[in-house]
Amino acid sequence: MNTTLKILKAGNGDSLILRFLGNDNQYKNIIIDGGNKKSEYTSVLKCEVLKIKARKENIDLLILTHTDQDHVKGIQYLLNDADIDKSLIKCVWFNSFDNTSFHKSNDISYIESCDIQNKINEFDIPRINDIVINEFKPVNFFGAIITLLSPVKEDLKKLILKNSTDICSEGKDYDYTIEQLINKNSKIFKDKIEDLDTTIENRVSISMLVEVQEKSILFMGDANPDIIQDSVKKLLAIRGIDKLKVNVIKLAHHASHRSLSLSLIDLIDSNNFIISTNGKKSNLPNKLTLAKILNRESKNGEEDVFIFNYDEVVDELKISDNDYIKYNFKSLKPNYSKGYLIKL
């Protein structure tokens, strides 16, 4: 296979590596976020970057989807690590802001973002800091077609960094079966009334569709579901199709039920869903998110697959054998020491 996607162990955050054969016949690596746990930076992301160097390849594109600690902290470690050759990094996408527009809060990382910006400048790494939707004009990155789905420029302008708490549910919903969650939440499943994320901090997260070698991946970042839905609708109209068919979806915000709407999931044709988190923060993932996906109107009859980067999260969800059979799905635990490797 010429294309692989690694979902790395990254604490309660995200860190993914997409590797593909570029149209110049050279392998390309795109790193998306860096997670936030120091021990797993050292044992996972750092090791993967050293492997890239050993293969005489580069980090052709480094994408920081937004400024939350659970996405940028690992990149701060990377840029401050003397063992890492920074010349490997050929381009950075990072919608951060000038230092005067920040003040420190728990999840919007002032210190980390400023340090990352300073290191990017220090090592003279090419950077683009206005990554926004541009009339859905795709970027051709060595043969990988990248279509941005968020953010929009207006939201970047609106962002005022403030002290905030992370999105969380009222509590863990793991003691309920999928069937019980569907029956318990008639407001969601019958009345179609959902409590969805609208925070500006997540609204400016980079989300994108990447299409390479006839395969496609939807990276949702932590973006709000309404902005992704609006973008997908516009993209469908441009392409003249009814549904967006993708091979795999990286679910938004560690599978928070507030980051996925029923109306959004019904616009997408996919059976493979990535859940990236160690389950140690904000009661995520929500089992209700799985229920939304498994009970969607657009379910095509094929088996759904949930891909996890931590074994213990699958165990903690307490999914019953009856649920697996009734709703026709399976959960995949990590298939290598550093997370989950998907061969596309």
pLDDT tens-digit map of 91-113: 999 987 655 444 444 444 667 88
92 bridge partner residues: 62, 127
Q: What is the rounded average pLDDT for all residues in the chain?
A: 90
Question: What is the arithmetic mean of pLDDT over 33-47?
Answer: 94
B/e letters for 73-85, b = 16+ CB within 10 Å, e = fewer, are: bbbbbbbeeeebe
Alpha-carbon distances, residue 297 vs 83, 261, 271 (angstroms): 50, 12, 13
Superfamily of domain 4-343: Ribonuclease Z/Hydroxyacylglutathione hydrolase-like (3.60.15.10)
Residues in the chain: 344
Residue 162's pLDDT is 42
pLDDT greater than 70 at residue 236: yes
CB distance 11 to 284 below 8 Å:
no
CB 256 within 8 A of CB 68: no
pLDDT tens by residue, 258-282: 999 999 999 999 999 999 999 987 7
Strands 144-150 and 207-212: antiparallel
- Of the ranges 1-10, 62-71, 213-222, which one carries the lowest mean pLDDT score? 62-71
**Hey, where are the domains in the chain?**
4-343
- CA 180 from chain centre, in angstroms, equals 28
- C-alpha–C-alpha distance, residues 223 and 126, integer Å: 25
Q: Are 27 and 20 in contact (CB under 8 A)?
A: yes
Distance, CA of 73 to CA of 112 (rounded, Å): 6
Tokens standing for 297? 């109107």
Give the tens place of pLDDT for each residue, 139-191: 999 999 999 999 988 877 766 444 343 333 456 788 888 888 888 888 787 87
Indicate the helix (H) or strand (E) that contains 326.
helix 321-326
Which pLDDT belongs to residue 254?
93
| pLDDT the model gives residue 143 | 98
Q: How far apart are CA 9 and CA 220, in angstroms?
A: 18
Which region, left, alpha or beta, applies to residue 221 given φ > 0 means left and ψ of -120 to 50 means alpha?
left
